[in-house]
Structure 1
Amino acid sequence: MLHKTRGVALSYIRYRESSIIAKIYTEVFGIQTYIVNGVRSSKSKTNRIALFQPLTLLDMVVYHKNKDDTVHRISEIKCYAPFQTLPYDVMKSSLALFVTEILGKTLREEESNQPLFQFIEDSVLFLDEAGKSFENFHIQFLMQLAAYLGFGIETIQDLENELKQNRYPLVSDPIEMNAADRLLMYEYGVEVALDRNRRIQILEKLLVFYKIHIDSLGEIKSLEVLREVLR
């Protein structure tokens, strides 16, 4: 049966000579896997592989037979909000890789979650459109995503207490606490002065917090890239 849905491209792997298997977070079906034929063919007249780059926002018509199917197919696909800056800005593209890795490791539900989809879409659009004050985007993204995953952060002190209970050794100084509290309280784009070391420390604390709640999170490979790019 054919269904219309929006989606956010997360990742893909090569499949056979010219196809891919793509992981997409959809508005209607949650996290899903699709096989897409012919997108890597030299005979293709359009660069359709670009539609599956990290965080591309998609309009799709898809085949879904039943919930038991693990791989589905796409009938029609197009980007409904072409990026203006995200693929061309090193900092933004690094943040996008980090976000897609986090989403790929944390999204598990194969069902509709409209508030979560809207949050992801709004976050992607902010990152693409932002001209400044997006250097803390990934920190705020983690803080806000946690609530949709069921372990939201009420206060920074609560976060510190939970880390302490799980024997995390580093304690925040007042500057870090105030900065983290401001990032938690306000929307994307709020200006918060953070040096590189404190920004990395807040990020690492949040990842430890995620690992407390998601055993399968594992290593975040894009973290090293962020350490280099976000100075």
Structure 2
Amino acid sequence: MLVKTRGIVLNYIRFRETSIIAKVYTEQLGVQSYIVNSVRKKGSGSRIALFQPFTLLEMVVYTSQRGGITRISEYRSAHPFSTIPFDIRKSSILLFLSEMVSRTVKEEEENPSLFAFLYEAIIHFDELETGFENFHLEFLLQLSHHLGFGPSSGAEIIEQVAFSSRAVGAATVPPVLALQAYEVYFDQLLRSPDQASIPNGKVRRELLSVLIGYYQLHVEKLGDIKSLAVLSEVLSE
């Protein structure tokens, strides 16, 4: 059966000589994997750019009652990006966020509110010309609410991460008093993100580290985020 749906590309792996297997979060079918033929061929015929992280697509896809990997019948860009491909900071942020979504969103069923949040957030990010330094932090906080473990305050984040760190004896986690200094920043990001006053890149990286720790408490087998090192380097200061 064929289904028409919008989709958000999460990632892809190479398959055979010129094809890929793309993981896509679809509006109608949730997370799906599709074989896409002949997108990596050399020359002007290549369409691999349409399967970069968080690309927005309009698709007609095959479905199967048995599940598993299917194929895309038709696909095209639903919203060509105007800034993201030309800004290394933005493309690095989207690479990181797409990996986080890929590791946390698993269901093979529609979730209209989650899809709408992701779709609209990506378009908004592309339209921002300045002031997007905190976007990834705001995004992860909002995503956590859609996933069912969103915090109500900065104190809730800090208490959970600090307690977990003490329980496992983690030597690399800052002392509780240092973590508590971050509560006010999380409160700003939760309540008035446009007015959040995070002083510099160092604090921003530390907030992200705490926030990933918070996710690790709530998402089973989240694992290491491979794109985090790239993001940290690009947004160093």
TM bucket normalised to smaller: over 0.9
Letter in 2 for 1:199: R
Q: Give the paired residue count.
A: 228
* TM-score, structure 2 normalization: 0.91
Change (3 A) 1:197 1:9: same
Question: Is the Cα contact below 8 Å between 1:133 and 1:191 reproduced in 2?
Answer: no
Q: Deviations over 1:11-39 (max 9, x none)?
A: 11111111110000000111100001111
Alignment identity in percent? Answer: 44
- Between the aligned partners of 2:180 and 2:165, the Cα distance in structure 1 is 20
- Between the aligned partners of 2:186 and 2:30, the Cα distance in structure 1 is 30
Letter in 1 for 2:33: T
Question: Is the Cα contact below 8 Å between 2:188 and 2:196 reproduced in 1?
Answer: no
Q: Deviations over 1:91-124 (max 9, x none)?
A: 1001011011101111110000000001101111
- Between the aligned partners of 1:65 and 1:164, the Cα distance in structure 2 is 45
Q: Deviations over 1:154-201 (max 9, x none)?
A: 1111111111221254334676322221111135x4452321221111
- Between the aligned partners of 1:86 and 1:225, the Cα distance in structure 2 is 16
- Between the aligned partners of 2:217 and 2:183, the Cα distance in structure 1 is 20
Q: Deviations over 1:108-143 (max 9, x none)?
A: 100000000011011111111101111011111111
| Alpha-carbon distance, 1:47 to partner | 3.1
Secondary structure at the residue paired with 1:207? helix
Partner of 1:222: 227
Letter in 2 for 1:193: I
Structure 1 unaligned segments of length 5 or more: list them: none
- Between the aligned partners of 1:208 and 1:173, the Cα distance in structure 2 is 12
Partner of 1:22: 22
Pairing 1:1-12 to 2, within 5 Å after superposition: 1-12=1-12
Partner of 1:58: 57
Question: Is the Cα contact below 8 Å between 2:185 and 2:196 reproduced in 1?
Answer: no
- Between the aligned partners of 1:100 and 1:107, the Cα distance in structure 2 is 10
Secondary structure at the residue paired with 1:110? coil
Change (3 A) 1:31 1:190: farther
> Structure 1 residue 107 and structure 2 residue 105: aligned?
yes
- Between the aligned partners of 1:184 and 1:20, the Cα distance in structure 2 is 38
- Between the aligned partners of 1:97 and 1:141, the Cα distance in structure 2 is 13
Secondary structure at the residue paired with 1:8? strand
Query: RMSD between aligned alpha carbons?
Result: 1.6
> Structure 1 residue 180 and structure 2 residue 186: aligned?
yes
- Between the aligned partners of 1:51 and 1:4, the Cα distance in structure 2 is 17
* TM-score, structure 1 normalization: 0.93
Q: Among residues 144, 151, 157, which one is paired with 2:142 in the alignment?
A: 144
Of the structure 1 ranges 189-198 and 78-87, higher mean CA displacement relative to structure 2 is found in: 189-198
Change (3 A) 1:77 1:193: same
Secondary structure at the residue paired with 1:42? coil
- Between the aligned partners of 1:29 and 1:117, the Cα distance in structure 2 is 11
- Between the aligned partners of 1:215 and 1:65, the Cα distance in structure 2 is 28
Q: Deviations over 1:185-220 (max 9, x none)?
A: 135x44523212211111001101111111211001
Question: Is the Cα contact below 8 Å between 1:4 and 1:60 reproduced in 2?
Answer: yes
Secondary structure at the residue paired with 2:22? strand
> Structure 1 residue 205 and structure 2 residue 210: aligned?
yes
Question: Is the Cα contact below 8 Å between 1:33 and 1:70 reproduced in 2?
Answer: yes
